[in-house]
Chain A
Amino acid sequence: MDLNYTDSEQAFQAEIREFMAAKLPQRLADKTRDHKRLTKSDMEEWHSILNEAGYLTGHWPEQFGGKGWNAIERTIFDEEMTAANGPRLVPFGLNMLAPVLMAFGSPEQQSHYLPRIANGDDWWCQGYSEPGAGSDLASLKMSAERDGDHYILNGQKTWTTLGQHANMIFCLVRTSKEGKQQEGISFILVDMDTPGVEVRPIILLEGTHEVNEVWFTDVRVPAENLVGEENKGWTYAKYLLVHERSGIAGVGAALSGLEHLKHIAKDQMKDGKPLLDDPFFASRLAEIEVDLSAMRTSNLRVTQAADDGAPPGPETSMLKIKGTEIRQSINDLTRRALGPYAMPFVSEALDAGYNEEPIGPDYANPIAVDYFNHRKTSIYGGSNEVQRNIISKMMMGL
């Protein structure tokens, strides 16, 4: 055991830190720090800057154009990027579809789609959940019927994050109603410009447009867009979910959220002293720090074991639960740190170009909205209840 970074890991950390200092545009860092809304072109710009340096796909294996980073390097990159207020990466192509294509896609799919993900030619979104298939994902109904060298898709997907920006969607579809539900599911890639695809916005409880419904009416998709084998999609779907979950611990986001919380608690005064010095507040903060410090190591243990050849398994469910709970407790304490100034909310102030004086402290406006928005994290990617079922079943045999 050695909890210190090796010389080469330290060098890597210094390299990433320097890169962030030199190449992360101040405008994007400011927006991220202040929780302003990032536009599509903001996100594309940041991806492109990282891609130019090879960092965007640093975690991809070298055979697919990556740098083959190990777990420690991935963690260092994630922490350094969030510490520098780099915008969060859009994961759908980069971290969700790409591993599936690498493991199960045809050589043609790999050579066509992977470079396009890296270069930002395609913006992917995820077609998993349906109105009747949330936690019970395997009950999904959207159909794909074979018609010569095409599939014809009919049905509806929902909770499609940033689908309004996407030109491509990967979907789980039903290709068979025989046997077990899980055995009739296929994984297919759909160009969203195909006739019959319609994206409708869902407005979230804080008034933001982040997710969508995607409707499919007689959408003709070439059969070569099927990933792997027909009716084997559930295997690929689970593989993707496990990958989604290992990033879902969100250590970097938690660390930067905690820093922001401390910054606010130093600025907010209570009885003439910084809130940070208030024993009630300090004990709540300390509890989060204890949890986060342990979770950070749990995350490294799990991801490193995966590097050593153990496929990521139900341990990632623990990371998902703990990671989301910790970030939610940071959001909760941050809203409380603000006192009455958590209440005002001026939506336009989150857009670029808003120049009016802030109401209350300049950091206040997005905090309560973030708290509400982040309630989603214990619901998406397999709700935390589903994660507990996975732990009970897979790890404990219950």
Chain B
Amino acid sequence: MDFNHTDDRRMLADMAGRFVREQYPMESRHEAAKSDDGFSRETWSQMAGLGLIGALFSEDAGGFGGAGFDIAVVFEELGKGLVTEPFLANLLAGTALTYGNETQKTVLENVISGESLLAFAHSEPASRYDLAHVETTAKTSGDGYVLNGNKAVVISGDTANYLVVSAVTEGNEQNEEHISLFLVPANSDGIHVRSYPTVDGYRAAEIALKDVAVSADALIGAEGQGLSIIHDVIARGTLAVSAEALGAIEIAIDMTLDYLKTRKQFGVPIGKFQALQHRMADMMTEREQIRSAVINASGNLNTPERDWNISALKNLIGRSGRMIAEESIQMHGGIAMTWEYAVGHFAKRIIMIDHMFGDVDHHMEQIIKLGRAA
């Protein structure tokens, strides 16, 4: 056993961390979040230049990383700055393209270089967290397909050049044996994108597909084999947002600790009160629990234990992450309720991550279903 990162990975983490710390101040983050794109394209290409997108994908796919630990270290640093650039969407859809044909892999190369943007249009208005719930249809037509359906809360779905769309290729009913994935240019006829902000300052979109014609080579992987790709995509996405939550948690705890040491009431720093000391100690303990769960999930991304470890991690994020987010606000008091003071924004991100790829109860249910094979 060795709990140290490789030198390469430590350098990656340091570089990402330095960029976020030094070139990603909260004011410009809010500024970019309010813009039409919801992020800065300039920052995105700088980050691409640093290799932060390439780190998320394997060498086969044109990147230079792609292991669980690569994803985890990058996203942990992104979480420390509440980075709104579309890393998650491109990780999700990009992972799907690693299963694609040569043309699709070229698209992924353009994503890694920062030129193209992707989004993963999978979840639907009625799917909640059920990955196999797909009502969107792909009917064969000539030598291609015609897509019809609605996609919900598509992260960064408004700025993508290409969408990875899930649809059932046989019959009209949802059937997990018949789920396929398609790479579709976002400007195709029949695609309607309704863009909106999320409560934590990111962007998402409702996407309607009406008679969208695609050619046969838009298919990613084999027809009807989409669900296993989706599981890989979502496992990586869940690891990513959980690591991001860890980064946000670290900052929220640092800020709270700092405040406990400097804020004086009753003539002493409030950190002198044991009622707060013990709660702070609990928060630190939970943060380390989460760090360990991120390690477990990263190391098991390609083992049969993947799903159990991913669900364990996400359950812990929903449970302990919520505790830390709420306690960070509570121990600060009123100041944490203001827009101007950053801790509330970290709390919002931590809580909203509970709504991505399954919340605390969803993953508890998965854990019970999976049992413990090991």
Contacts and interface: CB of A to CB of B under 8 A. Distances in A.
B365 interface: yes
Contacts of A143: none
B196 A205 contact: no
Interface stretch (B125-133, B162-170, B220-228, B246-254): B125-133
B333 A359 contact: no
Nearest to B322: A332
B333 A346 contact: no
A372 B199 contact: yes
A280 B123 contact: no
A109 interface: no
Given A346-B197, A368-B199, A339 B334 contact: no
Interface string B334-366: 101111100011011001101110011100110
A91 B285 CA distance: 41
A159 B355 CA distance: 30
B152 interface: yes
A207 B326 contact: no
Size range of the chain B interface in the assembly: 35 or more
Contacts of B356: 340, 343
Most buried by A among B153, B206, B354: B153
B152 A340 contact: yes
B123 A359 contact: no
A379 B330 contact: yes
B337 A379 contact: yes
A375 B199 contact: no
Contact of B334 (A335, A345, A376): A376
Contact of A359 (B194, B322, B355, B365): B194
B204 interface: yes
Contacts of B329: 375, 379
A120 B270 CA distance: 41
A342 B336 CA distance: 21
Contacts of A388: 275
B196 A359 contact: yes
A286 to B, nearest CB: 14
Interface in B197-240: 197-200, 204, 206
Interface string A31-45: 000000000000000
B337 A340 contact: no
A359 B206 CA distance: 8
A256 interface: no
Contacts of A269: 126, 128
Most buried by B among A271, A332, A346, A368: A368
Contacts of B354: 336
A213 B176 CA distance: 56
Given A271-B130, A372-B344, A139 B198 contact: no
Contacts of A133: 265
Chain B binding surface, main DSSP class: mixed
Contacts of A129: 334
B333 A383 contact: yes
Nearest to A133: B265
A108 to B, nearest CB: 35
A335 B129 CA distance: 14
A135 interface: yes
Nearest to B341: A205
A225 to B, nearest CB: 27
Contacts of B267: 139
Contact of A203 (B196, B200, B340): B340
Contacts of A383: 330, 333
Interface string A362-398: 0000001101100110111001110010000000000
B276 interface: yes
A102 B264 CA distance: 35
Given A203-B338, A344-B204, A378 B330 contact: yes
Contact of B266 (A136, A344, A379): A136
Interface string A321-341: 000000000001001101111
A263 interface: no
Contacts of A159: 334
A205 B129 contact: no
Nearest to B128: A339
Given A136-B266, A343-B352, A372-B348, A204 B197 contact: no
B365 A280 contact: yes
A270 interface: yes
A205 B344 contact: yes
B334 A134 contact: yes
A375 B125 contact: no
Nearest to A280: B361
Contacts of A339: 128-129, 355, 359
A111 B179 CA distance: 75
Contacts of B275: 385, 388
A202 B152 contact: no
Interface of B: 123, 125-126, 128-130, 152-153, 194, 196-200, 204, 206, 264-267, 270, 273, 275-276, 322, 326, 329-330, 333-334, 336-340, 344-345, 347-348, 351-352, 354-356, 359-361, 364-365
The 8 closest A-B pairs by CB, nearest first: A205-B344, A136-B265, A345-B199, A203-B339, A343-B198, A340-B153, A339-B128, A280-B361
28 contacts: A133-B265, A134-B333, A134-B334, A159-B334, A205-B336, A205-B337, A205-B344, A268-B128, A270-B130, A280-B365, A332-B322, A339-B128, A339-B129, A339-B359, A340-B355, A340-B356, A341-B152, A342-B355, A343-B199, A343-B356, A360-B125, A360-B153, A360-B206, A369-B199, A371-B351, A372-B344, A375-B329, A379-B334
Given A280-B364, A380-B334, 4 more contacts: A134-B265, A206-B199, A280-B361, A346-B196
